[in-house]
Structure 1
Amino acid sequence: MPRTDRARVGAYGAAACASAYGAMKLAQALGANALADKDPLPPELRERLLARDPLFVASHWALAAAAVVGVVVALATLRPWRAALPRRLLLAVTWTLGILMIARSVGALGHGLVGDVLLLTDVRPPPVGHAALARDLAWWDLLLWSPFFLLWGACWTAAGWRLGRRRR
């Protein structure tokens, strides 16, 4: 693969991840389970999520819309029409999203690889009364959500890096 094509993979990857995430959130907003029961939330919030609390339904719609914006932003880093958007704004958005998603995947924002491993190895005890659920959700986070956010964050940072290296 030529070097110029490899540099574009980050933006296309960020767009693909945003599409997948947005599709899942749209499905949840429309009433599908679509991995909602695997979301690593505290038990009381998880119950509200699964009961389709209006706040959670609204948040799914908002996240689906944000994912559409994410696809547009990711593709804007590659397309000629990005000239209509301030370059510094695109750089700030791509790098910020990349860093936040990587931080989430590692565990700096509460969930992530480190916290999951600590819980699953009993270094950090699970919540009393919800130990089995906490372990189950930690496995899902360790094997699905954290790697997904790590990939998505790496794609955003690669897109930002490519955009930063390109001449105006």
Structure 2
Amino acid sequence: MSWADRTRAGAYGAAACAAAYGSMKLAQALGANALADKDPLRPDLRERLLARDPLFVASHWVLAGAAVVGIIVALATTRPWRAPLPRRLLLTIAWTLGILMIVRSIGPLGIGFVSDALVLTGIDEPPPEHAALARDLALWDLLLWSPFFLLWGVCWALAAWRLGRDRPPPTIH
């Protein structure tokens, strides 16, 4: 597989990750658990999520819709029909999403590989009443969510890199 094919695969990977994430959020919006109990949230927010608080239900609908937009944007980075979409806008969106997802997976925001490792090794002690839950959620984040966001972020970065290297088609005046 050539480098160009691998970078094109980044756009398809970003679209596939968006589809998977959007499907999960749509399922949650419709009432399914779909890993909601594994979401690395503070205990008070987790209770609201699992109780189907209207704010969380609405956020699932918004995130499902955002995932559809993400699929379109990811595919637009490789397709000739991206012409109506400004190239700079696609580049900005793809780089921004890639960087944010990679940063989220690493963990300086309180969730991610670093934060999970700190909780699981006991260096960062959660409150005793939530310690077992915090370790369980850190393990899920370490094994599922952080790798997923890292993969998704790398795919967005590859899509952005490829789009940045593509020469825009000449404009006819």
TM-score (norm: length of structure 1)? 0.98
Q: Is the 8 A contact 2:98 2:156 kept in 1?
A: yes
Secondary structure class of the residue paired with 2:24: helix
| Cα distance, 1:110 vs structure 2 | 1.9
* Cα distance between partner residues in 2 of 1:7 and 1:72: 17
- Greater shift, 139-148 or 126-135, is seen at 126-135
Equivalent residue number for residue 112 of structure 2: 112
Asked if residue 62 in structure 1 is aligned to residue 31 in structure 2, the reply is no
State how many pairs are aligned.
168
Residue identity in the other structure for 2:28: Q
- The equivalent residue for 2:42 is 42
Q: How does 1:19-34 map to 2 (within 5 A)?
A: 19-34=19-34
Aligned to 1:138: 138
Instruction: Give the equivalent residue in structure 2 for 1:87.
Output: 87
How many percent identity over aligned positions?
A: 77
Secondary structure at the aligned position of 1:111 is classed as: coil
1:76 paired residue number: 76
Tell me how far 1:126 sits from its aligned partner.
Answer: 1.5
| Alpha-carbon displacement from aligned partner over 1:34-60 (angstroms, at most 9, x marks no partner) | 000000000000000000000000000
Unaligned runs of 5+ in 2: 169-173
1:103-160 superposed Cα distances (whole Å, 9 cap, x missing partner): 0000022210000000100111122310000000000000000000000000000000
Aligned equivalent of 2:171:
none
Aligned residues: CA RMSD? 0.7
SS across alignment from 2:129: coil
| The 10-residue stretch of structure 1 (108-117 or 148-157) with the greater mean CA deviation from structure 2 | 108-117
Equivalent AA in structure 1 for residue 68 of structure 2: V
Deviations for 1:80-123, whole angstroms, at most 9, x for unmatched residues?
A: 11111111100000000000000000002221000000010011
What letter is aligned with 1:74? A
Deviates more, 1:85-94 or 1:4-13: 4-13
What 5-or-longer segments of structure 1 have no aligned partner?
none
Q: Which portions of structure 1, spanning 4 or more consecutive aligned residues, are displaced by more than 3 angstroms?
A: none
Distance 1:54 1:94 in 2: 30
Instruction: Identify the residue that residue 53 of structure 2 maps to in structure 1.
Output: 53
Q: Which amino acid is the alignment partner of residue 30 of structure 2?
A: L
1:3 matched residue in structure 2: 3
Aligned partners of 1:158 and 1:5: how far apart in 2? 11
Partners of 1:25 and 1:99 in 2: CA distance = 22
CA displacement at 1:6 relative to structure 2:
1.6
Q: Report if the CA contact (8 A) 2:4-2:162 is conserved.
A: no
